[in-house]
Structure 1
Amino acid sequence: MEHARSHPELTLGVAAFGLPQAEAIRQELEVLRHGDPSCEEFFASHDKEPFFVKNLENVQGDERDVIFISIGYGRAADGTVSMNFGPLNQQGGERRLNVLITRARRRCEVFSNLRADDIDLSRTQARGVAALKSFLQYAEAGTGSARAGAGDRPASILSKLVAEGLRGLGYEVRHGVGSGQTGVELAVVDPRRSDRYLLAIETDGDVYAGARWARDRERLRTQVLESLGWKVYRLWSAEWFKDPQRELERIARAIEEAKNEGDGPEQSTGCRKASTEGHGALHVQNVSSALAGTADEDKPCSYRLARIDVNMAGRPLHEMPVDRLVEYVVQVVEQESPVHRSDAVSRIVHAAGMKRAGEVTVGAIEKAIAKAQGDGLLVVRGEFLWRPGMKMPPVRDRRALAASRRCFERIAPEEIARAVELVVRAGAAVPPDEAVTAACRMLGFSRPTDDYRKAAGAAVDTLLASGRLRKHGHFLVAAERRTAKAG
């Protein structure tokens, strides 16, 4: 339930070591969902990768962003630990465990009342149990305290493996550079200047897990390090253990790219402490507060439907003088610019007390739109009607509108682009996928559709081409401010 509240954008799967444990989790989750329906949107989302609870033997090919692993087996009433771990004791148990831990794209979280030291390999020859002990050792090392001082932070197993691999490629790597929460796990030294670093390598190990809040782990930490001049490479343990050589090659490419881009932070700069104030507005629910001090045209607002008074004068709408229809069209555009032309027709029809418009009525209003355009009373861009002089559209939250009035296809591309831009400005440095998702929610939609992602992807391309945004490594960052305002 906590994952559904804090990370609804990340797909989730739960894997238990036994069928009874999986069933117990399902039943308990049903009770929690019944008592708190606020998370139902998460459980109904992710059509292609829905939430699941499965036992170990049934998790085959079910990749998710996050996997929760419930060990299930534990101490007996007398405190003893049996070396029976169900399917792991069987032949091929180690392969089952390997399949499980590589199902997670981003991270695994392990739930167990056992530690690695509780597993006595002298009492079993099962390779699956030995693999479990190694996995728990890694999990324990990867979630240690992040409060160690500068330079004396214990290196995790993963960071040691990565450092050894990079040293084998000829790079100089240092552990635990920096102090407090701004220290980096691994730092690659610039061979041209030993007092500078090329790259910070962050894993989902001790510092990552030690961050108090989810947003600190996901984006705040990276943003703070980049503000200090670091180029940051994020390494996920699941990807490393799935294919260490591939990940090592990726890191090496990132190091060479950093070398070509120029100098990294000086060692004194990389080690100094930094405040995290001002870096809190990273998720969509914080975008508005992040923009609170900006100009009004930079703030999202609620969508307001146009209100107009249509005087039928005892005649059908399509028989009204075209100039009168032009007045109605202009009133709608003045209030809702940019507005989809079909929505403009709908506003006039509903204001006239009609449930729907026939072809004749639609044709009459379309003629009025053409006349208004010809008279310079509105601007037509594709399927959208704009108020003359409006350069930048407002970003409007549509969540209060009826479902029938909310449709991605009726949002102007420029408004989608503006939403993406505001998200990036609020977050300072945002991965493209996260910017697209956050902009979707800013516009009032719970999750993006494929059509929206396509439109938002085109919007990002437009923003990059126009110079309003630029790429910084794997992130989008805002360019210098322009003077254009929402009209």
Structure 2
Amino acid sequence: MTDSEPGSLQGLLGIHEALIRNPNNAARGDALHPGRLDPPSGWQPSMEPIVGYQAVDPGTLELGGHDSFHDIPDSELTRAVVQVVDREGPVHFRVLADRLLEAADVGRLGSRIRERIESHLDALAEAGTLERDDPLVGRWQHFLVPAYRDWSEAPEKTRDLDHVHDSELMLCLFRAVLEEKGIDTDTAMNNGLYRIGFTRLTDNARERLKTPLEGLLDRGMLMETGGAIALGPEAFLRGSGGSSS
């Protein structure tokens, strides 16, 4: 078989090149399955393996070398904010501020510094770059398809249940029920928290998890049956995001 014969490597490369140069728009995935590439309309559980919390190294934000925080150019501060959010989102304002202040070698979050960070977040949200669900900020993906993160690997100051967005708490509860079906509420809460690095189900933690659990029940992702929690009908669907966002 020569390189020019059908089925040869050269022939296959020729077909590949022709497809690249003359793509068939009707044969693309988004054309064959309309809406496949659209953002989900509501919260969706990730089935990816759990990953360790990845904190930004403040040194990589390159905010040093200025006399004060207010001397940092807007473009540099915006870049640093987005860098933190992309790495740690959804991220609590306190955590974001800690990263920025450490990067700029500033010891205290004063009212003027807070206002400046807030104004940058407002501008980024207005532009559609980031989304805010105060006091947390992230990309839309962080809120609708949150990562399954192990917070035991987060810096000690970051490792606070109040820093975890409801979307992540919904995921930890959903995964707990998925992995051990037919468990009671307290067991689901305890197992869910334990898997993401929080070892004790305190009264405060139990109260904190009520809203995420109600969100899963309202969406039909989970259901209560016979005193236990099980997967709901919406848990087996993808793309709809349940009954509400």
Q: Which amino acid aligns with 1:321?
A: P
1:482/1:323 CA distance change after superposition, 3 Å: farther
1:403/1:314 CA distance change after superposition, 3 Å: closer
**1:356 counterpart residue number:** 108
SS at match of 2:213: helix
Distance in 1, Cα, partners of 2:50 & 2:236: 17
Q: Which amino acid aligns with 2:54?
A: R
Asked if the contact 1:322/1:364 (under 8 Å) is kept, the reply is no
> Which structure 2 segments of 5+ residues have no match?
1-44, 241-245
Asked if the contact 1:350/1:356 (under 8 Å) is kept, the reply is no
Distance in 1, Cα, partners of 2:237 & 2:99: 34
User: 1:252-292 CA distances to partner (integer Å, 9 max, x unpaired)?
Assistant: xxxxxxxxxxxxxxxxxxxxxxxxxxxxxxxxxxxxxxxxx
Cα displacement (A) at 1:318: 1.9
Distance in 2, Cα, partners of 1:319 & 1:482: 50
Q: How does 1:229-378 map to 2 (within 5 A)?
A: 297-307=47-57, 308-378=60-130
Distance in 2, Cα, partners of 1:342 & 1:357: 9
Question: Relative CO higher for 1 or 2, CA cutoff 8 Å, sep ≥ 6?
Answer: 2
SS at match of 1:429: coil
Correspondent of 2:226 among 463, 469, 473: 473
SS at match of 2:132: strand
Q: Which amino acid aligns with 1:305?
A: A
User: 1:145-167 CA distances to partner (integer Å, 9 max, x unpaired)?
Assistant: xxxxxxxxxxxxxxxxxxxxxxx
Q: TM-score, normalised by structure 2?
A: 0.71
SS at match of 2:113: helix
Q: How does 1:203-218 map to 2 (within 5 A)?
A: none
Cα displacement (A) at 1:297: 4.0
Which structure features the higher share of strand residues? 1
Asked if the contact 1:392/1:484 (under 8 Å) is kept, the reply is no
Cα displacement (A) at 1:296: 7.0
Aligned length: 191
Correspondent of 2:176 among 423, 434, 448: 423
Cα displacement (A) at 1:484: 4.9
Cα displacement (A) at 1:445: 1.3
Q: Which amino acid aligns with 2:214?
A: D
Distance in 2, Cα, partners of 1:445 & 1:355: 28
Correspondent of 1:449 among 191, 202, 205: 202
Q: Which amino acid aligns with 1:456?
A: L
> Which structure 1 segments of 5+ residues have no match?
1-294
**1:48 counterpart residue number:** none
Percent identity (aligned): 22
1:484/1:326 CA distance change after superposition, 3 Å: farther
SS at match of 1:380: strand
**1:482 counterpart residue number:** 237
SS at match of 1:324: helix
1:402/1:314 CA distance change after superposition, 3 Å: closer
Asked if the contact 1:436/1:456 (under 8 Å) is kept, the reply is yes
Asked if the contact 2:85/2:139 (under 8 Å) is kept, the reply is yes
